[in-house]
Each structure stands twice: as structure tokens, then as C-alpha cells.
Amino acid sequence: MTRFALTLEFDGTPFQGLQRQKHGPSVQQSVEDAAKAATGKTVTLFSAGRTDAGVHALAMRSHFDVESDLTPYRMMGALNAHLRPDPVAVTHCEIVPDDWHARFSCIGRSYVYRIANRRAPLTLERNRAWRVAQVLDHEAMHRAAQSLVGQHDFTTFRSAQCQSQSPVKSLDRLDVERQGDHVLIHAAARSFLHHQVRSMVGCLALVGMGRWQEQRVGEALAARDRQELGLNAPPHGLYFVAAEYAASA
């Protein structure tokens, strides 16, 4: 049995999320079906993170085990051939040790959220960014974001459907920057709660619009109450950027 580690890029628009779903298509199903077509074997895909419907990935790390003589180069080519026309691509493939696990070996995950801060409707970026017409004060957003960095109880920013055993997480980074008419929010942590990034972005956007004072973000955090959440940002602006591991794999 060989363990193949993959790096996946995907457009989440047509999917119900990364994880296999009973009620619609998923990235996991697409990759597993492609692997079966390539090898003739049924595989189970494991990934560094889960993504909601409409969320994208630039470099999701995943793996599956299969009995195959294919080299990583040929496996990548075969998977990509069978993934068409789904908007999923394997950008890297390699063989890893049996004790390496895409999810449980991961020690860091990072996301970026893209806000298109312009009045004009989106064309090329439709379903790829959240359009906010009102000019955002990205500097105020960044200052407010720093109250969330560190170890906290993130109950306020946690979905009611979150399956994590604890609401306590350590947020390593939450930075806001402007690049032209885009406002980018960068988030990094060992792991995240369900909807945590989108919930944080939504509240920071309220600060940028002037609807919340900067200190309101910290107050919402301290309340540890989902009812204090101001806004949950839509999924289509969110991208899984990278997974970090202790050793190269």
C-alpha cells in the first residue's frame, strides 16, 4: 500500500464543500472518483481542513492510500485527466511515509479572505470575492483584528454546527491589508472552528464600514455568545492558502 500526498487547487463554487456530502457534489468525491478511475481501486481522501460550500483552495493538502505502481508524476497526470471537467487540479503529488497524515500531522493552517471593495459589479471575480461597495477603512479593521490574536474562547465566532470539542483556539495571525481596490484578510492558526474565519471577517467589515467601533470586536469576543456576532461573511471570498507540517511532505 502506498500513501500519496496531494496538493489540491479548487474552485468551490459548484461543490457543497470539500468533505463528501449526501446532498450534493464535493471535492472529496471528485478526487476519490478520479483515483478509482486511475487505479481501479476505491480510496478514501483525507485532507488538512474542511471547507464549506463555495469556499476555494489554493493549496489544500490531502492524501489517500492505494496499491498502485504509478509514480507520483503519473498519478498526478492520471488524476487530473479524470478530474475534468470539475474545477479541481492536483498541482503536486508525492509518496509519503505511512505515519504522515494530511489532517493529523498538520501543525498550521492559513486562509486569506478577499473583499472586492468597489461599487461596480464583479465580472471576472464573481463567486471569487465578496463585493463591498462602501469604502472600507482597512487600517481600522487591522487594529480591531489584533484583539482576536492569541488564545481565546471563540464561541462568538463559532457556528452552531461546529463539531470541535472546545471553543478555545490560538489565533497566530489576523492581518488586514489593502491592495488597490481589494482588502485582504490573512488568518493563520493551528486549527480553526467552523465558520471562525468568515465570522471574524464579517465583524471586521462592520468596523471598516464604520458601523462598529474598533473595540466592539474585542467586546464581542469577550461575550462568548454567538448572538453578539455582527455578520458572517459569505463563503465565496474565502480561500484555504496553505497547510504547514513539521517535516517536508
Residues catalogued as catalytic: 52
Q: Which three cell numbers stand for residue 235?
A: 463563503
3-state secondary structure of 21: coil
CA separation, residue 45 to residues 119, 135, 242 (Å): 41, 42, 17
DSSP code of 168?
E
3-state secondary structure of 109: strand
What is the dihedral sign for C-alpha 85, 51, 238, 72? negative
What is the dihedral sign for C-alpha 248, 17, 134, 227? negative
Residue that the C-alpha cell 467586546 belongs to? 219
Query: Omega into 85 within 30° of 0, i.e. cis?
Result: yes
Which amino acid is residue 249, in one-letter code? A
